[in-house]
Structure 1
Amino acid sequence: MPTSLAEAIDAALPQTQCTRCGYPDCRHYADAIAAGEAPINRCPPGGAEGIRRLATLTGRPTLPLDPAHGHEGPRAVAVIDEAWCIGCTLCIKACPVDCIAGASKRMHTVIEAQCTGCELCVPACPVDCIAMLPVDERTGWDAWSPALAAQARGRYALHRLRVEREQRENDERLAAKAQAKLDDLAQHSTLADPDALARKRAVVEAALARARARRQDTP
């Protein structure tokens, strides 16, 4: 059960993670609404029904959807024209719920049942081979169920954990390589400049500190 206004607002959002509200994800938008920093009418996927739900939770008046953030429309999913796909993986990186299957220089495809219709993969594609196709004439919460929202929330949480883990592992690999090179230089070069070594060591120690911080911040 939600234990705060922000959590209750987040639970009322569709969890498409489309960023059209101007925030990086649904939870950030929920936090901004709860703090009185954002209006309740910036979520096109939630549509008019979503605004009514937020109005009930916050006690604010119902407003029309802000057109600057998009329009309520039929639920759609991304479809990749596989004949034109070049396997660049940019759409995979853009997808907030990891619903695009593929690998570098390999054809990609969208797992339709997991697509939230966020549209973030469309501008990421350098060859314009992704289109959004309607799968339901209904809009907003009429076309998007709480079960789909819960699934999207879970997949987004897993996506964030994966990205954070990969970033942490990459930082650790780079720091280990830099440390190994620095140790080798210190051991085998009698001509090494002490000041240069100190500068390089500072860079390595900063990289190691970042890696340790990421490891500590990961739940």
Structure 2
Amino acid sequence: MADRIEDLLPQTQCTKCGYPACRPYAEAIAEGTAEINQCPPGGADGIRKLAALLEKPVIPLNPANGIERPRQVAVIDETLCIGCTLCIQACPVDAIVGAAKLMHTVVADLCTGCDLCVAPCPVDCIAMVEVTTGKTGWDAWSQQQAEDARKRHQFRVFRLRREKEENDARLAAKAAAKLRQAEAESCATPEEQAAQERKKAIIQAAMERARQKKEQMAALPASQSTGMNDVSRSVRKQIHEVHTRLEQQNEDKR
């Protein structure tokens, strides 16, 4: 029954019925927990179809869910778009294309007019434009369009689930690698652990000496930062030997 009810819904995935998508609304109607008059995109004609299927009386559209109106399509003012991707994340049928920090645009033929992209936009650059003036409900929408929208929504749900599973798998692999590393370190012999600690201590000591030397050099006046302090030990030895020979020569001359 839920399948048959879903076939009579316009598949705009607009959530105006109070459910996250058309399928959950169809299931709620089949279970008797939702009324048949909660779908504004389907309008009065949609209510009549559902009433006939379920052998229920035709009732007016519930105004709490919205009003029946011509079909609309989202249009993005590309001069104002900042490329935040929030509208892309909100679109239930992947009708918006673009990338982070780049201009977005709506593929009009794919847009169901759900207007879920309007509210998240931080710069109010999305407007809903009527494309079926004078035609509302199923008069503004075809069964083929509904079927296409349902397929795109189903693929989006599949894509998001796959991306989440892949991301979870990457995080799990990363956690497993860290765990293996920790286990390897914990399984090291006392000698290996001691050697690792000595290496860490040597590296830390060297880094500390370099830091202190850098601070000392930075604290010296420019006139003292050059001279013998900047000369290597081997060069100092050579200079000392030259001075020694000169002094010896002077003594011989005397």
2:19 corresponding residue in structure 1? 23
Q: Deviations over 1:160-185 (max 9, x none)?
A: 11111101101111111111112112
Residue pairs, 1:1-219, within 5 angstroms:
5-137=1-133, 138-189=135-186
Counterpart of 2:2, as a letter, is A
Write out per-residue CA displacement over residues 143-168 of structure 1, whole angstroms, 9 at most, x where no aligned residue: 10001001101111111111111011
Superposition misfits of 4+ residues, deviation over 3 angstroms: none
**Partner AA of 2:154 in structure 1:** A
Q: Which runs of 5+ in 1 are unaligned?
A: 192-219
Q: Displacement, 1:187?
A: 1.4
Find the structure with the greater CA-based Rg.
2
Alignment root-mean-square deviation, CA:
1.2
C-alpha distance in 2, partners of 1:123/1:180?
A: 42
Which one has more relative contact order, counting CA pairs under 8 Å at least 6 apart? 1
Q: Deviations over 1:18-65 (max 9, x none)?
A: 011011111110010011110000000000100011100111111111
Aligned residue type for 1:165: R
Structure 1 SS opposite 2:109: helix
Q: Using the TM superposition, give the Cα deviation of residue 186 of structure 1 relative to its aligned residue in structure 2, in angstroms.
A: 2.0
Give SS of 2:16's match. coil
Residue by residue over 1:66-124, the C-alpha shift from the partner in whole angstroms, topping out at 9 and shown as x without a partner, is 11111111110000111111111111111111010100111000000000001111111
Q: Structure 1 CA distance, aligned partners of 2:43 and 2:24?
A: 18
TM-score by length of 1: 0.83
Q: Which amino acid aligns with 1:54?
A: L
1:189 CA drift (Å): 4.8
CA–CA separation in structure 1 for the residues paired with 2:100 and 2:182: 36
Aligned equivalents of 1:61, 1:122: Cα separation in 2: 35
Say how many residue pairs are matched: 187
Q: Which runs of 5+ in 2 are unaligned?
A: 189-254
What displacement does 1:190 show?
7.0
Q: SS where residue 136 of structure 1 aligns? A: coil
